[in-house]
Amino acid sequence: MRGIRVGGFVDSYSQVVRIKVIPSPADQGCHSVRIRFANGHYPCPGISQNSHVKEAIMLPNELEQQLKHLISQGDLVGVEGIASENSWILELEPWLYQAAEAGKLDLVQFFFENGLDKNQRRADGLRENALSAAAARGHVDVVRFLLEKKALSELDTVDANPLLLAVAASSLECVRLLVEAGVDLHKTYYLSVGYRRNALSYAVQLDDDEIAQYLRSQGAKLPIVPELLVIDLHRREQLSERILGFLETKRTRPLDDYAILREDKVVEFWHVEPSNKLLVNTIFTRGLSLATRVEQVSPIQRELMVHLPFSWDIHDSFFQTPQYRWPLERMRQLAEGILDSSISMPEPLMILPNGNPPSPLGEGTQQNSLLLLTDFYRFGPVVIDENLNVLFCLLISLFEQERQYEKKHGILPLLKAMRPFADFMLTNPRREPYVS
């Protein structure tokens, strides 16, 4: 039975799916809905892709389940039969990923030869790809094949790193293949305060002496953990609890590559995914107030925070595409300046232009200044102890005409002009200026 295709679209800002699917009477009650984008597949509901829907397809559950069963059984003849009669079905699920996960090399080769992406990810949108799935289960032949085909080694998150997954699977052969292919065995993840993980530390933690010995022979070393991290754990957790409590979510993760690590000062950067309470991506620092309290007389210190649009590409392109990366880079530069005392701790309200004359904050935007707005009401103050209260300072990007408006009328009139706009607390390069 052939899938039924209809049109639809996703609003690029709100991500609300507007789509109408009308099955034929004979097909009632036997379909699952898939929304197909030009660059991926996502189940419905739960769409989180900033792209127009290319088409919606209703796939008969029976055929879908049959193909999944054949893959799990390694039945190449059965899979070839379904694919030859229903070539469209190859586009609807990450079949190559499923074959790699099941360790069926002949099926992985079949799907690859039929045009499926060797870097296919899980259907639920998580970062684990085919190589990660095979490594996590010790499927040596599949790992070797995918590496020969130059499959991507996903290193952005600890849960998708194929080398760490191979260590967890106690597969020395997979570990060897990945290291010989050039996967970074020194990649270290900053999981939480006082705890870091790389391939060697994970092997040691799992008491896998054979893998640990091999990694050491390749030059791997255990990560160094600053004692300050352990000492400040409780204080840092207080900051996270305040934010996550207000946002009513627990979906947060550290942005390991952006942490500022010094001998006596450690500043973390954390990402909070959109929640029902606040439908934006939130990034905040943890530890800036603790690192600067020695130099500052005031008991009130500040952490930094930025809100990015719901559709901002945090997971896929954030660390690779300059147009998505610059807000975090500016935030980190500000934190480093505060640590170095080259930038004074932010006042409750202040504007920082990007140079003199100001230049764009980053690629893809004409905004050239940051408004620093201390949030007294939603997230603070957080009482760390009797000598330290912490407030969060919100970073909002501004256009040149908004900066000139502030110079002419003052910062409070600028805020008054911004408040009617629902997104005025966002850093959003795609918005229009609030003032002319």
Position 65 in a domain: yes
Q: How far apart are CA 194 and CA 367, in angstroms?
A: 37
Residues 199 and 234 in one domain: no
- 69 and 98: one domain? no
Query: Would 432 be classed as within a structural domain?
Result: no
Residue pLDDT, tens place only, 161-188: 999 999 999 999 999 999 999 999 999 8
The per-residue pLDDT for range 274-326, each reduced to its tens digit, is 888 888 889 998 888 877 654 444 567 888 999 988 877 666 445 557 777 88
280 and 351 part of one domain: yes
Are residues 83 and 104 located together in one domain of the fold?
no
Residue 434 lies in a domain: no
Last residue of a domain, one of 93, 125, 148: 93
Note whether 171 and 156 are same-domain residues. Answer: yes
DSSP string, 405-419: HHHHH-HHHHHHHHT
Using a pLDDT cut of 70, give the percent of the chain over it: 76
pTM of the model: 0.53
Query: Do the domain assignments include residue 11?
Result: yes
Same domain membership, residue 138 and residue 48: no
Look at the chain and report how many structural domains it folds into. 3
CATH number of the domain that residue 126 is part of:
1.25.40.20
- Position 425 in a domain: no
- Length, in residues, of the chain: 436
Domain end among 93, 119, 151: 93
The DSSP-derived string for 76-110 is: HHHHHHHHHH-GGGGGSS-HHHHHHHHT-HHHHHH
State yes or no: pLDDT of 69 exceeds 70.
yes
Pairwise CA distance, residues 9 & 34, whole Å: 13
Q: Are residues 184 and 66 in the same domain?
A: no
pLDDT at position 17 is 33
308's enclosing H/E stretch is: strand 300-308
Within a domain: residue 26? yes
- Cα R_g (the chain), whole angstroms: 25
Chosen domain end from 225, 260, 288? 225
Closest CA to 295 of 229, 343, 339: 339
Shared-domain flag, residues 145 and 221: yes
**Residue 224 binned pLDDT confidence (cut-offs 50, 70, 90):** low
> Is the domain of 185 the same as that of 114?
yes
- What is d(CA 192, CA 204) in angstroms, rounded to the nearest whole number? 18
Structural domain of 81: 1-93
| Strand 266-272 with 252-254, pairing | antiparallel
Q: Please give the pLDDT value at position 313.
A: 65
Residue 392 contacts residue 302 (beta carbons within 8 Å): yes
Judgement on whether residues 329 and 272 belong to the same structural domain of the protein? yes
In a domain, 433, yes or no: no
Helix (H) or strand (E) holding 216: helix 209-217
Q: How confident is the model at residue 429 (pLDDT cuts 50, 70, 90)?
A: confident
427 lies in some domain: no
Is there a single domain that holds both residue 136 and residue 102?
A: yes
